[in-house]
Amino acid sequence: MDGVAAANADLKKLRHDQGFMPMAEHLGELRRRLFRAALWITAFSTVSYFIYSSVWFFIMGPVAELIRKSRLPGMPKVTIMTTRLGDNFAIEFKILFLAGFILAFPFIIYEIWRFITPALSARIRRWGSVILIASVALFWCGVLFARLVTWRTVADFLVFQWLPPEIAISATESVRPEINLTIADYLSFFTGFHLAFGLSFQLPVVSVLLGSIGIISSRLFFKFWRHAIVVLCLFAIVVMPPDVFAMLSLMVPMLGLYFLSAFLVMGIERKRE
């Protein structure tokens, strides 16, 4: 009986090392990882409280340029405001949460990595540190690229492109309606826009992981590269303002990441062969 129990224990350990786990254990592990990720976000959100002024400038800095432009002759007045009693508290909480998520991203990725590791090959596990560092670097590059390169053009376009017509108040005088931006709306759009860039820059990492377990192949990338260009072009037209620089600022990095993903998956396939 002792030999059977020992054999069962060894078999259970072997199956666990190979990624075999009952559904209840999978759910329990997922719950633990999510709880740890939430703790990391909470911790870094608390740290962000002490650098709140820098975080505020990073997010709201472009608004100053919009207000400055609105003071030029013939431009509508732009103001930034809150509309409800609890907005100031909610806005500070959202800003701290956003900063906490961005700063805690390395630890969030680590928790995700530890959860999916059993399903990956031994070769990919050995490259775990490189994959984690690349994922964090790409996410932060995506967020910084969106903030420093594209966001000012997008915000300027959204505010000043579709100005309402002037209102005639007399035979010789007319006024243009003011533009009142709420901080809550601005913050929501800012958050979604920058997180979308950060997560879209994860394409090479996701491609490597999917290629390592055989879900995608490099042939798929090279077969549909023309389709990818068309899709990226349409995506840039929809998301970005009708400005050549703005659209290229989205298309060129994403196209580069697309082909980088293709060559990375090709390298995995050659090593496998």
pLDDT for 162-200, tens place per residue? 777 777 777 777 777 788 888 988 988 888 888 888 888
Tally the residues of the chain.
Answer: 273
Q: Is 239 helix (H, G, I), strand (E, B) or coil?
A: helix
Residues 136 and 229 in one domain: no
Residues 35 and 126 in one domain: yes
pLDDT score recorded for residue 46: 94
Residues 196 and 87 in one domain: yes
Residues 194 and 236 in one domain: no
Q: Is 74 left (phi over 0), alpha (psi -120 to 50) or beta?
A: left
Residues 102 and 212 in one domain: no
Residues 55 and 180 in one domain: yes
pLDDT score recorded for residue 243: 66
Instruction: Give domain status of residue 4, yes or no.
Output: no
Instruction: Give domain status of residue 115, yes or no.
Output: yes
Residues 90 and 137 in one domain: yes
Tokens representing residue 252 in the block: 């060129």
Predicted structure pTM score:
0.77
pLDDT score recorded for residue 4: 55
Question: Which of 204, 210, 208 minimizes the C-alpha distance to 258?
Answer: 204
Structural domain of 115? 25-165+173-201
pLDDT score recorded for residue 26: 66
The whole-angstrom separation of Cα 193 and Cα 151 is 8
Show the low-confidence residues of the chain (pLDDT under 50). none
pLDDT score recorded for residue 269: 79
Instruction: Give domain status of residue 16, yes or no.
Output: no
pLDDT score recorded for residue 7: 55
Q: Quote the DSSP letter at residue 75.
A: P
Residues 88 and 194 in one domain: yes
Q: What's the one-letter identity of residue 37?
A: A
Residues 104 and 189 in one domain: yes
Residues 83 and 110 in one domain: yes
